[in-house]
């Protein structure tokens, strides 16, 4: 579909197209379309902009990933089609591997995501052709993880996660960074760092902060991580939603 750039919802429509195309290519699961819609609704409510609470969380996430011994980025179908160029840029910049990890797991979908990421120049994509094992405490297919990747990771960045797995990763002693537009989800509550923002805006910023912070001494990064409080950040995001909705309720015709 040809979307005119002047359309007020241009970005959002382009993303929808990517998800639909991804579904047709067998990369996105049918349920991924629903998950995307839920994300869009929350994005509408926060005004489709990266807010201060998200910036703070992204900076802490960049620092924590740099400090971690074995960090990994978990990738599902939606993430792969929405931001392949940024996933690959981040992974190649930091040497942090990407790992395909799916709730609706099929061999075809895993391989399709692997090929898709490789076509964007990804160096290391785990979870498909390397050795896998089982992460205890999970019923879904997401329990199958790469031995070299999530299984032995100390920190896992999980854009668009489901709550069960975030909790299982926590029980396995890992630090979890989530990107989730819904601040009320179990994922958002269970994660150590929750970035309440669209992955399409959060990832480019993560790359920018990583470039800046990797020049800084370790103590500086530790200070950022130690002074970060996720409960406070989540509260800020919910208070922001409350205040924005109150302002809009008072002046609905000014809505932009």
Residues at the site binding ligand ATP, with contacts judged by CB under 6 A:
35-36, 38-39, 42, 82, 160, 162-163, 179-182, 185-187, 198-200
CB of 181 to ligand ATP, least distance (A): 4
Angle at 157 between CA 13 and CA 23, to 5 degrees: 35
Greatest CA separation for the chain: 57
User: Which of residues 70 and 186 has its CB atom nearest to ligand ATP in the complex?
Assistant: 186
In the sheet where 98-100 sits, what is the strand order?
A: 125-126, 98-100, 71-75, 155-159, 175-179, 193-195
CB 244 within 8 A of CB 196: no
CB of 227 to ligand ATP, least distance (A): 25
User: Which of residues 90 and 148 has its CB atom nearest to ligand ATP in the complex?
Assistant: 90
Helix (H) or strand (E) holding 134: strand 132-134
Q: How far apart are CA 238 and CA 184, in angstroms?
A: 8
CB of 218 to ligand ATP, least distance (A): 30
Q: How far apart are CA 234 and CA 241, in angstroms?
A: 11
User: Which of residues 28 and 153 has its CB atom nearest to ligand ATP in the complex?
Assistant: 28
Q: Which residue is nearest to ligand ATP, using beta carbons?
A: 39
CB of 198 to ligand ATP, least distance (A): 4
User: Which of residues 29 and 64 has its CB atom nearest to ligand ATP in the complex?
Assistant: 29
């Amino acid at each position: 579909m040809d979307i005119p750039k002047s359309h007020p919802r241009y970005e959002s429509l382009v993303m929808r197209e990517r998800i639909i195309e991804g579904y047709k290519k067998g990369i996105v699961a049918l349920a991924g379309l629903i998950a995307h819609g839920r994300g869009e609704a929350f994005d509408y409510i926060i005004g489709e902009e990266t807010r201060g609470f998200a910036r703070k969380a992204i900076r802490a996430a960049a620092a924590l990933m740099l400090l971690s011994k074995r960090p990994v980025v978990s990738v599902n179908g939606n993430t792969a089609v929405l931001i392949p160029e940024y996933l690959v840029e981040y992974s190649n910049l930091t040497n942090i591997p990407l790992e395909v990890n799916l709730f609706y797991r099929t061999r075809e979908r895993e391989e399709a995501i692997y090929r898709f990421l490789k076509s964007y120049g990804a160096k290391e994509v785990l979870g498909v052709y390397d050795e896998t094992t089982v992460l205890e405490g999970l019923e879904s297919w997401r329990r199958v993880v790469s031995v070299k990747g999530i299984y032995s990771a100390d920190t896992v960045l999980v854009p668009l996660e489901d709550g069960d797995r975030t909790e299982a990763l926590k029980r396995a002693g890992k630090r979890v960074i989530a990107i989730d537009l819904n601040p009320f989800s179990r994922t958002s509550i269970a994660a150590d760092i929750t970035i309440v923002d669209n992955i399409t805006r959060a990832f480019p910023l993560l790359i920018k902060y990583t470039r800046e912070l990797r020049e800084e001494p370790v103590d500086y990064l530790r200070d950022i991580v130690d002074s970060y409080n996720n409960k406070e950040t989540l509260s800020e995001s919910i208070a922001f939603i409350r205040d924005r909705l109150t302002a809009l309720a008072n002046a609905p015709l000014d809505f932009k």
